[in-house]
Amino acid sequence: MNSTIKPFGRGDVFVGATLLNNPADDHAGQGRIIQYDADLNEKGVLWVEGTTHLIGGLTFDADGTMWAFDNLEWLMVKIAPDGRQIYCGRMVERATGKVAFLANGHYVLTEYFKGDAQPQTLTTRYKTLPGKLGQVGTGLLWEFDAAGKLVRTHEPEVHGGVSRSMAVTHAALASDGRTLIYTSETGTRVMRYDVIAAKQLPDLMVLPASEPGRPPNMVFDVATDGGKVLLPLGNRLEVRGEDGAERARWPLPGFGWALVAAGIGGDVAYVANWFSGDVVKLSLTDGSIGAKITIAPKSLSGLVQFAR
């Protein structure tokens, strides 16, 4: 398959949308990152080389290089601003799902899994750690210096999610450049950890228990933007301050809204639905939807806008 991705332009939106084509594994397929303009008009596609499963955790570093993750195969991918894939490999022998770049020049890779539970409702299987008797992960934060040397690891609190194996699946830095705001996908806690002080902080938010007959209360992705915290919660997007106070909430149609990216200027966000494959450009002023596309159900696992 030929890649048609263009050099990254300010405002471009990128969606990790793996082409799921393995009937024996519902998370496996050809890695794909689709490039759109700010109004969700398609510009190009990158067919990722070397990965086997869903591509997610899309993040840009200070140089404009995109980092992405195949957490089920324990792989990290880097894509240069001109659209060339320049790396696919493992920094640690674990499933990592996100990178955060600290204000002190270090960066942190978040470990996706913890424990030994395997998904019960999926055909995909999690890789197990060598010699660990079925353990799928340890839920650590892996802190590296700017040269890529491992400095230390941290053991933050995690929720586990519905599967009981989710660790730090989604994360974003607070405005102080040191506090990681993170979730365990399908859990109920939005947690915080001060990486510099190596200290767990009080939760930003805890959702109440789900009520019978109503959509489940679950947290998924998290994005930060100028002191705001954006949280897709299945049937809505909530905007909170870094103190946890609610600033706005915008309902979304159906259930499955699980990915979010902050938009340039702070007045829009991009939100994606895992079940339907929809991506929308959402006004944070009035909750209106300014653009919408549909890609493919159960394939979207990364979402980001290029702001350089």
Secondary structure of 175-206 in HEC code, one letter for each residue: CCCCEEEEECCCCCEEEEEECCCCEEEEEEEE
In a domain, 87, yes or no: yes
Entry pTM = 0.97
Residue 65 has what pLDDT? Answer: 98
pLDDT band of 120, cuts 50, 70, 90: confident
User: By CB neighbour count within 10 A (0-12 exposed, 13-18 middle, 19+ buried), where does 221 fall?
Assistant: buried
Q: Is residue 232 part of a domain?
A: yes
- How many domains in the chain? 1
Whether the Cβ atoms of residue 48 and residue 32 lie closer than 8 Å to each other: yes
Q: How confident is the model at residue 89 (pLDDT cuts 50, 70, 90)?
A: very high
In sequence order, the β-bridge partners of residue 150 are: 144
Residue 113 forms part of a structural domain: yes
The reply to whether 6 falls in a domain is: no
**pLDDT score recorded for residue 133:** 84
Q: Are 108 and 141 contacting, i.e. CB atoms less than 8 angstroms apart?
A: yes
Q: What is the mean pLDDT of residues 11-26?
A: 96
Contact 158, 145 (CB under 8 A): no
- Does 160 reside within a domain? yes
Please state, in angstroms and rounded to a whole number, the distance separating the CA atoms of residues 236 and 262. Answer: 15
Local confidence band at 99 (pLDDT 50, 70, 90 cut-offs): very high
Inside any domain, residue 71: yes
DSSP for residue 209: P
Contact assessment for residue 169 and residue 190, using Cβ atoms and an 8 Å cutoff: no
37 in a domain, yes or no? yes
**Beta carbons of 200 and 230 less than 8 angstroms apart:** no
The CA-atom distances, in angstroms, between 255 and each of 109, 271, 278 are: 29, 12, 11
Under the banding of pLDDT at 50, 70 and 90, the label for residue 1 is confident
pLDDT at 239: 98
CATH number at residue 196: 2.130.10.10
Domain that holds residue 233: 13-305
Find where tokens 């990178």 sit. 99
Q: 213 pLDDT band (50/70/90 cuts)?
A: confident
The 10 Å CB-count burial string (b at 16+, else e) for 285-295 is eeeeeebebeb
10 Å Cβ neighbour count for 199?
12
Q: Higher-confidence residue: 120 or 265?
A: 265
Of the listed ranges 17-21, 129-133, 279-283, the one predicted with least confidence: 129-133
Q: Would you state the pLDDT for residue 111?
A: 98
In a domain, 58, yes or no: yes
pLDDT of residue 175: 98
Confirm if 57 and 74 have CB atoms less than 8 A apart: no
Q: What is the mean pLDDT of the chain?
A: 97
Give dist(CA 125, CA 25) in Å, integer: 8
Instruction: Give the model confidence (pLDDT) of 180-195 as tens digits.
Output: 999 999 999 999 999 9
- 14, pLDDT greater than 90: yes
